[in-house]
Amino acid sequence: MIELTKLDGETFTLNCELIETIEEKPDTIISTTSGKKYIVKETTGEIVDKVVKYKEKIFSFLKGI
């Protein structure tokens, strides 16, 4: 799960496993596998970094089990 910011400043948490595509046109639009679209303040690079950090955290937890 990653925390993102809507254009109005409201934050929300998104299950990053559902991300299908990310586009910048110039706003960043995230499309999910369920067909929903989210417009967020973060850039594509920032979202990718958040996903990588989330997955690193999950994998390091699983290594410890």
Per-residue model confidence as pLDDT tens digits over 12-65: 999 999 999 999 999 999 999 999 999 999 999 999 999 999 999 998 888 877
pLDDT in the model for residue 19: 98
The three-class DSSP label of residue 19 is strand
Structural Rg of the chain based on CA atoms: 13
Better-scored residue on pLDDT, 58 or 5? 5
Query: What is the reported pTM?
Result: 0.90
Distance CA 28, CA 7 (A): 10
pLDDT in the model for residue 56: 93
